[in-house]
Amino acid sequence: MKNIIKPIIICLIGMFSFISCSDWLDVNVNPNTPTDQSATIENRLPHIQFYTNHAYQIASMRTFMAMGDMTMNSRTSTYGAAAQWQASASWTTTPYQWFLVGSGSNLQILYDKAMQQQAWHYAAASRLIHAYGYMLMTDLYGEMPYTDGLGESSVPKYDNGKTIYLGCLGEIDEAIELLQKTQAVSVPALSLGDTWANGDVNKWLKMAYLLKARWINKLNKKQPGSYKEGKWDANEILACLDKAQQSNADNVFYDHTDDYGPSRDVLGWNEPVDYAPLYSVLGMNSNYYVTKMMIDNFTNFAGSGIEDPRADHVIPWAYSVKGATSPANLKWVGNWRRTAGIDMHTLIRLQSHPYTTSYDVKKGGWYINTSDASLKGDTIYVQTTCGSKGYGGFSSLLYEKAKGDAKSRQSGIFHARPSSPTWIATYHEACFIRAEVKFKQGDKIAAFNAYKAGIKANMEFMNQKLNVWISGDPSLASCPSFAPMKQSDIDNYISNAIGTASDITLAKIMTQKRMAMLWSLEVYNDMRRYDYDPNVFLNWQIPAEYYQNTTAQKYIPLGKHLRRWQQCSHELNYNSANLQAIGAEVPGANMSSEAWNKDDAVWSINVWWDTAE
């Protein structure tokens, strides 16, 4: 990852800019403590990218817990409650703050400076990230101050979802135009500041087209027509995909490290900026588990009976000794034992499962530290905790329950390690979008070919990182979570497990897309686009605990679904008048209440793009 120490120190300046208190910052310029005006465009961009990426990933984690692939052994913690569809105001602040303060407060300044210098590619990056961040905001909250959101007013007026949506699409079009302009050699090259694509302008251009296709495709509930009028525009989606990623070589991703460098975020967590955001909220913690639904999709997709080669990498393992009484239905590779899944279609968590596993250093084995005999078998469940050499001080990327004891190792999972990549714009997503559109057009052959290409591309992209990990530490190859997928297994799965053009279905396309894009906000967006239909998302059901939880049903009434987030406390407390006013433009808003957005059931109100027109 590029050096972002200098960019990070300008965050406080961005915060002052956000609250319009910059007049007194006109002091003598010290190059080691740049001011709002002296910070260069190449130093400002990576700071913006860091906070934008973090905002998106934190939002993704919080929504993903409610989508059914992950759970916790706590039902009362924020994420544990999310797994039973109990919404929480504690979700709402961090993505808002990290984008609007950490990133948004610097975007217009970056754009203005770049345009002044004719640094077209930096200006394009500013516009594209502005759109990316505000699309995140409208995905989560629906309405938001957008037109005046980053201006000087401390109480900016709200825009409705359609205005934000069309505005973001317009910004993408501007970014595409700017990216196609040639910068003078006298201005900073994009490579000096870009941490996402290392300054590759063609990758930025392809990313812009993919995001445009993604966002137009989210309008599938709208009538067919021009995207410029807020309609579902199949022809434009396909035209964008023709200019988006054509192979994994075009992918844009944030390549995190496990260096534990000296730079820290300054928005409250004080954590190193090197490692992946999902490590911060998932990988370094010890009470997350994968669900049976997720395992079923990866081990028996569409009833094929053939295991997905990716399964070993997204399902955690524990180092164990197999004995005569070991459960027969678990997968073993040598002394590595793969976890069972938590069945959220049952009330298993109401019966205190899964109980946290302990490790006995003297006996060298796993056990359940409780006198309750009914919980003793919970050693079958392995947590997703990941190891870390830089941050955690372990000997490798394998986590050790008893530090220094190799027999207490756990594998973690592919997406949540400190050096796991954050995928931002990928070829496999482009393939799945094309497959969906082609299927709707009745072209099953083209749909199947794109679907197959997406599955294969995702496997190959994962293998790239697995090979990097193994080359850096060959000892990891003995753990099935790290061993790269064999080509023979990939070929067998593609040939025999995913079906054919004659039996391709929307459910297969959308479920495989979900499997390829684990921990992405697009899983939540897709679930909303198809109204949480279990006929579209294989093995999915509303968690059984929801029906026992009257608090959850206050926020998401029976018969409804999680459709948006309540506004965060900053908007509720300091911009309440403008928030209340926009409610008149929100179908379903309870305008008879004192404040429509404080109404418990606001979480079940559709955002604009999630409505039919």
pLDDT 10s digits, 216-258: 999 999 999 999 999 999 999 999 999 999 999 999 999 999 9
C-alpha span between 349 and 367 (Å, rounded): 19
Q: Is the dihedral of CA 28, 101, 274, 113 positive or negative?
A: negative
Predicted pLDDT of residue 326: 87
In degrees, to the nearest 5, what angle opens at C-alpha 200 toward C-alphas 194 and 205? 105
C-alpha span between 610 and 172 (Å, rounded): 21
**CB-based contacts of 483-490 (< 8 A; 24+ apart in sequence):** 483/312, 485/309, 485/310, 485/313, 485/459, 486/309, 489/309, 490/309, 490/456, 490/459, 490/460
What are the backbone dihedrals phi and psi of residue 293, each rounded to the nearest 5 degrees, phi first? -55, -45
Residue linked to tokens 């039973």: 84
Both tokens of residue 188? 């900073």
Residue 119 β-bridge partners: none
Amino acid at 532: Y
Predicted pLDDT of residue 599: 96
Within the chain, which residues score under 50 in pLDDT? 1-32
Amino acid at 511: T
Predicted pLDDT of residue 33: 52
Q: 433 near 258, Cβ under 8 Å? A: no
What are the backbone dihedrals phi and psi of residue 589, each rounded to the nearest 5 degrees, phi first? -70, 135
What pTM was computed for the model? Answer: 0.94
C-alpha span between 411 and 399 (Å, rounded): 6
H/E stretch holding 115 reads helix 105-117
What are the backbone dihedrals phi and psi of residue 318, each rounded to the nearest 5 degrees, phi first? -130, 140
Predicted pLDDT of residue 28: 32
Predicted pLDDT of residue 36: 61
> Which one-letter DSSP state was computed for residue 486?
P
C-alpha span between 416 and 495 (Å, rounded): 29
C-alpha span between 122 and 579 (Å, rounded): 33
Predicted pLDDT of residue 502: 98
